[in-house]
A and B are shown apart, each in its own frame.
Chain A
Amino acid sequence: MSLVEPAAEDLKRQRTLVTPEGIALRLEIASVGQRLSALIIDLMIIAGVLILLLLATGFAFAAAGQNSREAVLIVLFLGLFLLRNGYFLAGEMSARAATLGKRAMGLRVASRDGGRLRFEAIFTRNVLRELELFLPLTLMLMALVTGGTVDGWIYLLGLVWCGVFVFLPLFNADKLRAGDLVAGTWVLRAPRQKLLRDMADDGADAQPHFAFTPAQLDAYGVKELQVLEQVLRDANRATVRAVADRIVAKIRFDRGAATDLEFLRAYYHAVRGRLESRLLMGKRRKDKFDLG
């Protein structure tokens, strides 16, 4: 994960939510790929539970006497019904608002208006799954089982018709599937992020040994600073060396016996101090070409 400049593709999926406190939060719409992966994980979990359920009820049925067989069948049928309709509901109703698959992908369901996610909405978006997922699956299974006795054209029409709903998320900016449309929800990517170290902490010790002139500090803007932050964070030896050499050459600085890392840390600290003090005055220098 890079902290620097998101790619154009990521920017397209960014939305802002203005909280009641008046602060804009940036949200990221989950990509179709992420959602597909989450769905596949969920389906694998369902399939696993299904196999366990069938095995368990199968053994129970064989072991049970004539009288309790009925109870076993009831458990099986209710279990199947719950598995199909309840799995997604239960996951999305929890505090994380995500099924296990979505959790694994760092996704969550949220109400599009920023309000609370109501139970009806979760119910509705998952009922529509019948149309988008289970119906096409059934159609395909039917074709396999009947082995082509279903009229080819009717079958094709059915597939095309289902395809409209299956591929809906690909054709709108918010990646909404039919269930999201009807329920007024969307799926966001909200991974947990750890508080990373402040890269200026290292530089504070090193800086006194370096004396940068204002001109040397003005060589770069915010964008380059953030690239430098990432370089320091990754601390890849080869990259650090290359970047240090580039900067030394550009600002014509004599770094003496200092190592690459020491030099970069000190320079990062100094540049950040300078850019931040200008930021405080309302001047944000975008990048090195921004001379305003």
Chain B
Amino acid sequence: MGEHVGASSPRFNLAGRVRGLTTHVADEPVGAAAHVALHRSTVPHARIIEVNVDDALATPGVYAVVTGDDLYKQLGERMLTGPAFADQPCLAYDKVRYVGEPIAAVLAADLATAREAADAIWVDYEELPAVYDLSDALDGDTYVHEELRPSSVFADLRHLHGIRDTNVNYEYNLRTGDAEAAREAGAMTVSGEFWAPPTHHVPIELPCTVAWVNAGRLEMLTTTQTPSYVRQSVADLLELPLSRVRITTRPLGGSFGSKMYDRLEPLAAALAWTTGRAVRLLASREEAFLLTTRHGAAVTASLTTDEDGNLVSSIADVRYDTGAYADVGPRITAKSGMIAVGPYRVDNARIRSRCVYTNKPSAGPFRGFGVPQVTWAHESLIDELARRRGDDPVEFRRRHLLREGDVAPMGTTMHSADFVGCLDAVAEALDWGTPLENTGGRIRRGRGVAVGVKAVLTPTIANAVLQLNQDASATLLISTVDMGQGSDTIMAQIAADVLCMDPARIHVVQADTDVTPYDTITAGSRSTYHTGNAVRQVAEAMRDKLIALAAEQFGTSEVTLDADGLHAGEQHVSLPDLVRARFGARGATLTTEANFTTQWTPYDKETGRSEQVTEHWFAGAVGAQIAVDTATGRVHIEHLAVAGDVGKAINPRLVEQQLTGAAIMGIGHALFDQLVVDQGQLTNGTLLDYQLPSSKDLPDKLTPLVVESPHRTGPFGAKGVGETGILAVAPAIANAVRDAIGVRITELPLTPEAIVTALQQRDSSEQEDR
């Protein structure tokens, strides 16, 4: 390892970011594009009888009005897209399935005109009974979709095609040992009904897509984390070869899972292609709330010990509310269902995890990919079990946590997942062994911990191309999208480390599918490991190439590369001279390419188990010290410690920022963040109503803790960290509340109202006991 990996180098273009000089998608001049506004459904579930666009078309400045039916006539069922299920039309054509679903698009000279004309459209509906929540969906006889339509992306979903009369689009089952019998035979069981509400990502940058047709090609500039996916999706939609679709991006102003798969892109492509006009779609904040959400999830679960305190049974029934369209919900259901036991040794486990349609805005990926919702359940349960047994919650977890080489309940062996190290780190930061001072009165203090586990997205593909320029600078072509996580910074560090070059001389090209090679997605904390490995390999290939060139020139194979150039004994040549000698030209380039692909063993359909369900694991722990005001129910966080095992920190400063940033987002989920949907209507979808953490919600002290348990095939041992810090925040805080006031709350968020209500219930039941 050289001097760049492991260094806390400043973030790429930091001064530019501070002064606002970074160009984002909506900042790009686009020429004469039509501005697009959408007419949206006012009802949650209905047949569309008629869409009347006459008044909209007559509005001065309107170029065109396009309805779902217009697109269906041209594109047929190809207009149904989605990463797991091809169930979502970019404009509704036969039915609407949630309040706010787009039905018609107005293209106009300016956005104000487009919006005015969109308001002038009226729709005649035949209303249908609606499915408002999980119990309607699972127990009722109204179905959001006539039949299931798995997409072609995931081969293992094909068997679901055509299934009717259900709102469950996917079910994952984990069966190991006999969990029911073990629970019966056990000495102590705790159980609970847990609820984590739907929430929203709210990256401050709003989604924006510009699409146009150029020389028979569909070209697009868009706010996406998934340019390679979008290229395929648009090519399928328009029946074009991939070479005739170009997707370009800019750095994103945050995303957290909201700007991936099919958002504005299919509609923009369809409108540009069918009208021949350049179109610009810019979501307002209110519209952005409808594009995707985080799944609300209900978990009914139990955890059992035998008399010696061994964990003998874990049972959970997990239901994800995926809204009107499946998006990647089926994947979330499986990937979080498989770890719903938590990072513990439990011989008998039974998990049922279902993805359920309702007539609400669609839910999709969100930092953590469904795992925080099940972590909420398993970390509340094990904590309650420890406390009821009179065991220390840290020691009790420690006893049962998976260690290196252990086989987890879903069948995969643990490696580079130091749960114990993370837990010990947060316990030490909180000074766990020293009792907290509680002086009585209305303020009660408490401490809690929680541990999280998540699998990295597997299988995936990363590619990298490196051009070494004759002047000893380099251009790195990858399709990873920098959205604040710092990929442009660390990928340059990795390449620079191999090539003994200043990272500032390596430019990372913004994803452009005409230029940068295929990369599955920038998501699931996968880029550091996957793309990082491809970048390391492409740089090593370049190093080998340079050494071979020098060996030719020196007449010896004993060549080394360092910051000054290439050496063999007394002989020396600088990089610029070496490349110039090879080509006889200034400005020439040398090119290398590399691929890094991971494989998995699909889980067994009956048991849900697999020997290799993922390439690697993320391990994290959170410790919280809080004070509850028992009069107002307000929770004040005195200290939040957040630990993540990152294998090896390529850039420790950026790793710490990912940990603390995720923890702050998690504070919102723990204490106040939630989407409120009433009778299918989103009631708090503006930033006046939707509460997010601000500088005033920071803990008095926030401690990031970087744990490094190197991964045997990670680049320099590294793994990602984008999600690790968020997994266990809410249960750590709730466990601290339990410690402070003796009340176990199972529904998020822990609002002052929820805490006061729980205290009143505790007091009234104590009175009844007397």
The answer to whether A and B interact is no
